[in-house]
Amino acid sequence: MDTQHLRTFIEVVRQGSFAAAARRLDLASSQVTRAVAALEAELGARLMHRTTRKLTLTESGAAYFGRVSQLMDELDAASDDVRVSTGEICGLVRLTASVALGQKLVLPLLSKLHAQYPGLQLDIRFTDMVVDLIGQQVDIALRQSPTVDGSLIGVRLAKLRFRVCASPKYISRHGRPKVPAELSHRDCLRFALPGFQSAWSFKARGAPDADIEVVAIGGWLAASSALSLLEAAVDGLGPVLLADWLVDPDIAAGRLVDLFPQYEATSTTFDNGVWLLFASREHLPRRVRVVVDFLREELQALIGDSNKLPFVPAADGSLRR
């Protein structure tokens, strides 16, 4: 049996369509269709019901997928163990991150990662959508959030802090607000996402949560991209609330000013973090583990704090606290 046909079938199921699987595997759609058809012919059974709008597994297909997907994972793990014994680190690692995290923090590290592990291949998806690591077969994710999905292994790289900033150009034209409440009368730059557009919260540094001040905000410009909001703020279009790791270089260079350095600020909760996540499984392939360790070390040096790592991959690939 052709294992490539099996891998193609598994990818079609995981992606939910032939077209998506073809893009993922870098194949023509016709090649994917032929591979699944060849597998069905060899088995003498239909594995999928296919229409122009929907793909569903037959009862036999669902049972078959459940078994062969596990077998292929075991085969990959066995291959990885052999490579470990020879000292070779190679293979494909899939990584996802938000667009801003990816472009500002991950991309500058890739040349160093490639120099250390030239046998690795990377498939990177920078998107502000939350990717299902298990369903989409992604190995590693970088996310900003208060908590993480309990089905994933989480390493908090840093406590996420936000700053409200504006450019010197904006301040010279409109004046610097003295207290956060003044922002309710300004055109602020806002995230075009539910729950992010109407209010920012502030509290004096070190103050209890009971002293939180919620300030209603509005403005003529909202965008779904943190990088777009950053550029708009530097261009003098208004105050913006963004993560410290994103705005600190511009503050240091004088392109932005932290308007309220004595305050903590957020649009959601004050307990946010930057997380390095990977799927929970018994055997973590060495190719994934070296990338996890590399990103953890490099990113904590850039944005990290003193948080202890809750999980550490052991030398044998298992996961230990």
Q: What is the pLDDT of residue 87?
A: 65
Q: Give CA separation, 126 vs 95, 97, 129, 141, 178, in Å.
A: 8, 5, 9, 10, 37
pLDDT of 280 > 70? The answer is no
Written as one letter, the residue type at 275 is: W
Tell me what pLDDT residue 115 has.
95
**What's the confidence (pLDDT) of residue 304?**
77
**What pLDDT score was predicted for residue 21?**
84
Average pLDDT estimate for 235-247: 97
Distance CA 30, CA 53 (A): 17
Q: With both helix axes pointing from N to C terminus, report the angle between 226-234 and 244-252 in degrees, rounded to the nearest 10.
A: 20
Residue 283 or residue 160, greater confidence: 160
User: Given this model, what pLDDT does residue 308 score?
Assistant: 38
**Position 318 confidence tier, pLDDT thresholds 50, 70, 90:** very low
pLDDT greater than 50 at residue 307? no
Q: Which fold has domain 89-321?
A: D-Maltodextrin-Binding Protein; domain 2 (3.40.190)
Which position has the higher pLDDT, 312 or 129? 129
Residue-level pLDDT at 49: 86
Q: What are phi and psi of 235, to 5 degrees?
A: -80, 0
Averaged pLDDT score across all residues of the chain = 86
pLDDT tens-digit profile of 148-190? 777 788 889 999 999 999 999 999 999 999 999 999 999 999 9
CA within 13 Å, CB half, 10: 19
Average pLDDT over residues 21-37: 87
Strand partners, 276: 142, 155
CA 40 from centre of chain: 36
| Percent of the residues in the chain that have a pLDDT greater than 70, as a whole number | 90
- Sorted by where each begins, the domain ranges of the chain are 3-85, 89-321
Total-model pTM: 0.73
Q: Which CATH number fits domain 3-85: 3.90.1150.10, 1.10.150.20, 1.10.10.10, 3.40.190.10?
A: 1.10.10.10
Would you place residue 73 in the very low, low, confident or very high pLDDT band (cuts 50, 70, 90)? confident
Beta bridge partners of 218: 187
The confidence score (pLDDT) of residue 80 equals 66
Over 70: is that where the pLDDT of 277 sits? yes
Inform me whether the pLDDT recorded for 75 exceeds 60. yes
pLDDT over threshold 70, residue 303:
yes
Per-residue pLDDT at 306 exceeds 80? no
pLDDT at position 88: 74
- pLDDT band for 311, please (50, 70, 90 cuts): very low
